[in-house]
Chain A
Amino acid sequence: MAFNRPPLAGDAMATTPTVRSSSFSRNISTSAASSASSPTPGSRIGSGGAAFVSSGIPDLDRILGGGFLLGSLVMVMEDAEAPHHLLLLRNFMAQGVVHCQPLLFASPAEEPRAFLGTLPAPVAASKEERQRAPGPGHDEQDQGLRIAWQYKKYFGEQQFSDAHNKDSKQEFGNNFDLRKSIERHMLSAQNVDCISIQKFSNLAPLRERCSSFLSKLPGNGAGLAGRIAIQSLCAPQCGFSDWDMVSFVRSLRAMLRYSKTVAIITFPSFILPPSFSKRWQHLADTLLSVRAIPDEDKDLAKLLTGYQDMVGLLHVHKVAQISSQVPVILEASTFSLKLQRRRSLVLERLNQAPVEGSSGTSYGTAGPCSGSLKGSSIDF
């Protein structure tokens, strides 16, 4: 389903020739499509020979510079108040199912299979084209705002080249509709393996399972990338010892290094003693954290635009880097989680709302920001 060329793509190009400002855009898209289509569907080779798989959230792939690096360990710090980490997990696992990539899912629940029923379905490709491609009347309307938005023509070009790359992008990453569940027949393939960690007294069985999962994957070069998703590893009901858990994380990281797999572990970091929480954070290659947004926070509503649509916040602490000592510095590291049209997850940079004249100088907005968010940092 991900490999069908949507028939509307050609139409979209034909009806909006005026939006294109240079004739290079079509050529760029075809060459990009051909270079991006790697022998293994679902993974992409980035700069420096690094291979990526999609996280299931196209915005997150873009923020992280391509997606999740194969062979890396992604860790997500959970929030005590809201289960937003499940959104990330669901999209990650659904993306793997769509690409038929082998998936191992471990959770402290009694019946992890039940979680598979909540995975979202990918958004149909044709609808996607209509939404993303700018309409024909779009450009003429904006001509009137020439003074303020003189740079919009550059944004328009970018959007359009994105639409051109839509074909290659569909192969790599999908948008998921959170209101619809994934179809049963996709889940019933043998590629999805579930394990409940609650009944174990220590983590040795899980380590064994991961090791056999990784060894069953086909060797380098050929074959699909694998995905491992572990939910709430240090959940209190499991009762694993601190050193046992951190030892497991370390050995999983070592196992991943030599394999074409991405593992994502979500963990409630507030449950661990602070020193162990830091140890886990150091072991992560990519470190994210999700935070809930209080529902009716007037100060935040004044501070940020689009506050009502925000579901939560995502903060990027570390981004995996391969073969390089240069750290990845993002322009913005905190993003808002929003549900676009209540179905697909988007990440947006935070925008400070225009300061009202009556509320004083703009410096005054710094106060409620740090106060209401309990002193944790937000980077605009």
Chain B
Amino acid sequence: MNHSPNLLDEALGLTGRGFGCGALSQGRVVLVEDCVETSGAFVLHHLVKRALSTDSGGNVIFIALSHSFSHYDRILRKLGCNLSMHREHNRFHFVDMLKVEFPNEIQKNAVEHGLVDLYSKILKAVEVSSSGDYSRAHISIVIDDLSILEIVAHGSVDHVLDFLHYCITLTSEQDCSLVILNHEDIYPEMEAPRLLSHLIYLADFVIKAEPLVTGIAADVHGQLTVLKKGTFNDSQYTDKASNFHFQVKENGVELFFPGTRC
């Protein structure tokens, strides 16, 4: 299903021709930040839809800590993507972590074992994807959302970071990219935000969803800032920041530069 790329796709470099054009290119880590006033979940939905679209033929491994499968299924159905069908064809792997606990009382290193378990599940899913019909396809690992993983790990930032580092090795070894949703307002500026600064360091793209400075509006739901990490290319340093407004709809998201909407 062809559709013109929107501003977010352009900012992420998702435009282009050829196989794998809809997917994030290899080795990309995308951090999506949001806050209580403005939810960034729609960015995840959009990226999943792009990854699963027929142009790109990619696979998605979805680690769901926040909602159940039926929630995403219903939302993505309205966006025009059938998750149940993709799940049957092994293009969409859903890791349901909604009720998973790592009880510290029962086992001594429960958190560690739990996260190792989770990583092995991801590895298995990657192997299945690489050996299936879409073996050449790009795999996107999506985590929704990281703050709940922190809660599950009883606040041990070290374990969560170790887990993230393991996932990031996948992005370099296999053709994977990592998309993480996190809540930026949880980390106050006063304390040293260890996890947040690590994430920003590791990410190639940081997408921040914020409310408008002027407050709530019915037709503009917030603003999106996309920061592309600076890279050196033949001694030339390039980085990019874009800012646009968005309105979330049932069947997609409308993005426009501030003031350009009539």
Among residues of B, the one whose C-beta sits closest to the C-beta of A257 is B68
Q: Which of the 9-residue segments A98-106, A158-166, A174-182, A242-250 touches chain B? A: A242-250
Residues of B whose CB lies within 8 Å of any CB of A are 36-39, 41-42, 45, 67-68, 70-71, 74-75, 78, 98-99, 101, 105, 147-148, 151-152, 154-155, 183, 185-188, 191, 215-218, 221, 248-250
Of all A-B residue pairs in the complex, the 5 with the closest CB atoms, nearest first, are A323-B74, A243-B155, A325-B42, A278-B186, A254-B98
Given A243-B151, A282-B147 in contact, is the A258-B68 Cβ separation under 8 Å?
yes
* Bound-complex Cα distance A250 to B41 (A): 18
Given A278-B36, A325-B41, A327-B221 in contact, is the A377-B215 Cβ separation under 8 Å?
yes
Contact B250 A279 (CB under 8 A): no
Interface string of A175-215 (1 = CB under 8 A from B): 00000000000000000000000000000100000000000
Contact B75 A329 (CB under 8 A): no
Contact B101 A251 (CB under 8 A): yes
Contact B36 A317 (CB under 8 A): yes
Beyond known contacts A258-B68, A278-B186: 8 more, CB 8 A cutoff: A251-B101, A257-B98, A279-B183, A282-B186, A317-B36, A324-B250, A325-B75, A327-B221
Q: How many A-B residue contacts, CB cutoff 8 Å?
A: 74
- Mostly, the B contact residues are loop
Contact A243 B154 (CB under 8 A): yes
Contact B188 A274 (CB under 8 A): yes
Q: Chain A contact residues (Cβ within 8 angstroms of B): what range?
A: 20 to 34
Contact B154 A325 (CB under 8 A): no
Contact B185 A324 (CB under 8 A): no
Residue A379 lies at the interface, judged by CB distance under 8 Å to chain B: yes
Contacts of A281 in B (CB 8 A): 36
Contacts of A379 in B (CB 8 A): 215-216
* Bound-complex Cα distance A318 to B248 (A): 16
A-B contact pairs, 9 of them (CB 8 A): A243-B154, A278-B185, A279-B183, A282-B147, A323-B71, A324-B74, A325-B75, A326-B248, A327-B221
Residue A344 lies at the interface, judged by CB distance under 8 Å to chain B: no
* Bound-complex Cα distance A250 to B221 (A): 27
Contacts of A251 in B (CB 8 A): 99, 101
Of B36, B42, B191, which contacts A275 at CB under 8 A?
B191
* Bound-complex Cα distance A254 to B71 (A): 13
Among residues of B, the one whose C-beta sits closest to the C-beta of A49 is B74
In the complex, chain A residues 298-339 whose Cβ is within 8 Å of any chain B Cβ: 317-318, 322-327, 329, 331, 333
